[in-house]
Structure 1
Amino acid sequence: MTAARDGQPFDEETGLPASELRTLKQRTTWYDLAHEYIDDRWARTPGNTRRTLADAFATITPALVRPGATYAEPRVLRRALYSWAFNKNAWEQEPADDWQHALDWIKHNSLPVSSLAEVDVLRRALDALSRKLDGKPASAKTARRKRAAFNEALNTVVEKGYFADNPLNGIRWNAPTVNDEVDPAAVPNPLQVARLLAAVGQQRGRGPRLEAFFGCMYYAAMSPAEVIHLRIEQCHLPKTGWGLLNLSGGVVAAGKDWTDDGEVYEVHSLKRRAATATRPVPIPPHFVSVLRAHIDRFGVAPDGRLFRNQAGNYVEAGAYGITWSRARKYVLTRTARHGSGQAALRPPACRDLVLAALRG
């Protein structure tokens, strides 16, 4: 009657007023809530995002336990959370005994959702996602990614009536001040890029197949995922003049444990764009010739992909990373010997090809 006089809505299933229903829901533990969130979102989430969510929750969950509670084997607990509790694909089988022991412990010690309204509890979670398992600071990018996952889970909590507002909204928090910015001195200039690409092509084995691969990063500012996904029908490569690459997505290594079909790779649409959106990128005449020569020499995969390994499969990050590292070592040694400038003394990273392209 009091709730009715206050104008509170009532839940049709339980008959409880909103205030009492919220109190009842808040008795749910954070662990059960996170587990439920993964279950609800799994079907509409790509494999790479599933892995990101599991990583975030496996970091945060051990911090949201009763005061003084500490699991004796934190690495086992984290592995049990990451590989089983927050991976729906793994739920078809029972967890290993050591994982089961860790999961029983977290279920018993996990804080109720009501505790998330306390500032100290939230800061404990934010501090956890700001550090690695060994206690060292995490990169700012990693911390922001995990906080975004935590925030999205709490938004869903609000939608389900656990809270009236997202508890994180009132928390002031800054990502760790870890320097993961690209050093401008490490960005290659056009002369260095030409030498680097030539050094890639001169390597035995996979090298010749990857010269145009890295050229896409520089001349078209493409990410490795977009390069791997590039197909012949996306390429307009005239005999003379400028060409055009009509990009439509990328190939991401999500891991077979996180995909619905058990495949390692997933094809994603362009970031923050509609599933059918495309991004046209003009490429200069010189690189048009490079791509034409690549196609004439190596052909294309049955599905039209320009780049593949010698077995015809996707180009793996480990493989092109090794090739690029060897090219850097050779070119930088040579340019330093010829005194080409101070910037040559610092090795440009693979991602700096894109930055160099964007800077013109």
Structure 2
Amino acid sequence: MGSTYTVRIWAVRQRKDRGQTSAELRWKVGDTPHSQTFGTKTLADSRRAELLTAVNAGEPFDEATGVPVRELRQRNDVSWYQHARDYIEMKWPAAPAKTRTGLADTLATATPALVTSRRGMPDTRELRSALYSWAFNFNRWTDDHPAEVVRILAWVERNAMPVSAMDDPIVMRKVLTAFTQRLDGKKAAASVVKRKRAVFHNALGYAVEARRLPHNPLPQVQWVIPPTGEEVDPGCVVNPRQARTLLDAVEKQGTRGEHLKAFFGCLYHAGLRPAEAVWLRHENCELPLSGWGTLHLDGSRPRVGRGWTDSGQPHDERGLKWRAEREIRHVPIPPHFTAMLREHVQAHGVAPDGRLFRTARGGLVQESGYGEVWARARKKALTAQQHASPLGARPYDLRHACVSLWLNSGVDPVEVARRAGHSVAVLLKVYAKCLDGATAMANARIDDALKRWQ
């Protein structure tokens, strides 16, 4: 049922029930009849007059409850703080842990801009921390809150503006401005602003769904979303020779380096995301003695933090990114990398659960650990100029290099997208023109095409 302007109101009639006289008001909204009983005819007439006034003013009525939509919205009105917590509670069960942190970050940024008074406002950083870590972390709602957090959140609860007051472009602009600024006063990255606006828009959409707002007010603001550079910077992509040199530099860093060489190889030779390589198990690997092998990927373990996962573990238990639950991605791997993984298993064995890569204590590989090894490898393998540049600055850049190499080698983009776990549209937008030397390769192909026509 929705809202309608079709309303019919009958005259009040008096009834005698068990020796007592009461007044009944009957009306019909759309196809749904409604009635309400009052102790006196005067009260019933007064309510009838209210409904008639709404009809004459051209207000829509809610068919399910039978009352004017405006009145229903007033009944449902809550503070922004309460609505934000309702939104978190609604989104939490189905949201991956990383998404939960994004939701909390957005609402913690928006809430300080949605208050009726700044008098007695807590310190900016303490306020953001209390909102992010406690108010909008559903897992911690039942925990004992520190006294300072209780004080800060009590201030927010007292001063948060009602949701009904948010149907105002000026208020919306204040929130959007807050999204563009970091806590240190510097400008936020365009991608962060875009992500936060999307979450906030969704939270306002939930307010419409909950009958707390008549419509989503955010599109009314004449505000241009900052352009985001989604394309991979070609300057960060290593070529095959540089990749080999870097992997060799990893291997030379003692026992941990020898163990992690194949881990970084997964990123460069198979295009795995780091979280996918962390969860790679022996059962996922098809490693023949000769020829191409295959990795059968069925999940990932991104590190988010204990407070945000359902398991209470630092790593979230997830399926493949942008894929249906339990979907498997099959990635062929070249013979030399197949041999590298086979040698890795022979030299280092596997964890009790089959994982190829693990810490010294058998735990999941940590970003801080492999990031430190990668930083030393860059310093050792690259020239001073290259080291100061973004070339291979992050382990994730090895994945960029892998996908770019596939594309520039002439592999069908559909096949590249399938192997990388992307849509074709995202693939072509993000990864094109990233291989070191791609311009020369393209020029050579054009030369060959022209020569064939001479």
TM-score scaled by structure 2? 0.72
Inter-partner Cα distance in structure 2 for 1:205 and 1:171: 57
Q: 2:392 corresponds to which residue?
A: 348
Q: CA deviation at 1:165?
A: 2.6
Find 1:357's aligned residue among 402, 417, 421.
Answer: 402
Letter in 2 for 1:354: R
Matched, 1:8 2:61: yes
The one-letter code of the counterpart of 1:277 is E
Say if 2:303 is the partner of 1:250: no
Matched, 1:25 2:70: no
What code does the residue aligned with 1:190 have? P
Which amino acid in 2 is paired with 1:316?
A: Q
- The aligned counterpart of 1:147 is 197
For the residue of structure 1 that corresponds to 2:351, the secondary structure is: coil
Match of 1:93 in 2: 143
Question: Residue 333 of structure 2 corresponds to which residue in structure 1?
Answer: 283
Instruction: Give the deviation of 1:321 after TM superposition.
Output: 0.3
**What is the alpha-carbon distance in structure 1 between the residues aligned to residue 224 and residue 293 of structure 2?**
44
- Between the aligned partners of 2:292 and 2:231, the Cα distance in structure 1 is 33
Distance 1:311 1:125, change over 3 A: same
Question: 1:274 and 1:314 mapped to 2: Cα distance?
Answer: 24
Does the aligned pair in 2 maintain the 1:254–1:264 contact within 8 Å? yes
76, 82, 88: which one aligns with 1:38: 88
Say whether residues 1:309 and 2:354 are aligned partners.
Answer: no
**In the TM superposition, what whole-angstrom CA distance separates every residue of 1:57-76 from its partner, at most 9, and x where no partner exists?**
11110011126557241111
Q: Distance in 2 between matches of 1:227 and 1:153?
A: 34
Residue aligned with 1:359, SS: helix
Residue pair 2:236, 2:397 contacting (<8 A) in 1 also: yes
Which of 240, 244, 251 aligns to 1:190? It is 240
How far apart, in 1, do the equivalents of 2:111 and 2:210 lie?
20
Cα deviation, residue 181, structure 1:
6.1
Please identify, of 45-54 and 58-67, the stretch whose mean Cα deviation from structure 2 is larger.
Answer: 45-54
Q: 1:78 to 1:216 in 2, by over 3 A?
A: same
SS at match of 2:61: coil
Moved more, 34-43 or 209-218: 34-43
Q: Which has the higher contact order (CA 8 A, sep 6+)?
A: 1
- Give, in angstroms, the shift of residue 87 of structure 1: 1.4
Q: TM-score scaled by structure 1?
A: 0.90
Q: Which residue of 1 aligns with 2:258?
A: 208
Q: Deviations over 1:291-327 (max 9, x none)?
A: 1111111111111111111211100000000000000
Deviation string 1:156-199 (CA, Å, 9 cap, x unpaired) is 11111122332223334444468786432232111010000011
CA shift at 1:288, angstroms?
0.6
- Does the CA-based 8 Å contact 2:191-2:228 persist in structure 1? no
Q: Secondary structure at the match of 1:348?
A: coil
Aligned partner letter, 2:72: L
Matched letter for residue 186 of structure 2? K
Is the partner of 1:22 in helix, strand or coil?
Answer: helix
The Cα offsets for residues 13-72 of structure 1, whole Å up to 9 and x where unpaired, read as: xx632221113333x111110011122332333322222211111111001112655724
| Separation in 1, partners of 2:386, 2:224 | 32
Residue in 2 aligned with 1:125? 175
Q: 1:178 to 1:95 in 2, by over 3 A?
A: same
Change (3 A) 1:196 1:219: same
**Is the 1:69–1:109 Cα contact (8 Å) retained in structure 2?**
no
- Relative distance call for 1:115 and 1:331 in structure 2 (3 A) is same
Tell which structure's C-alpha radius of gyration is larger.
2
> CA RMSD for the aligned pairs?
2.2
Instruction: Give 5+ residue unaligned stretches, structure 1.
Output: 337-341
65, 72, 75: which one aligns with 2:115: 65
8 Å Cα contact 2:115/2:161 also seen in 1: yes
Q: Is the 8 A contact 2:298 2:326 kept in 1?
A: yes
Letter in 1 for 2:397: D
Letter in 2 for 1:286: H
Percentage of pairs with the same residue = 44
Question: Residue 10 of structure 1 contacts residue 18 of structure 1 at CA under 8 Å; is this kept in 2?
Answer: no
Equivalent residue, structure 2, for 1:318: 368
CA distance in structure 1 between the partners assigned to 2:268 and 2:117 by the alignment:
52
User: Helix, strand or coil for the counterpart of 1:251?
Assistant: coil
TM-aligned CA distance change 1:42 to 1:156, over 3 Å: same
CA contact (8 A) 2:283 2:354 kept: yes
- SS at structure 1 position matched to 2:294: strand
Among 157, 160, 170, the residue aligned to 1:110:
160
**What stretches of structure 2 of length at least 5 have no aligned partner?**
1-50, 406-454
Aligned length: 350
In structure 2, what is the equivalent of residue 54 of structure 1?
A: 104
DSSP 3-state at the match of 1:166: coil
Distance 1:41 1:227 in 2: 28
Instruction: Determine helix, strand or coil for the equivalent of 1:249.
Output: coil
- Letter of the 1:16 partner, please give it: V
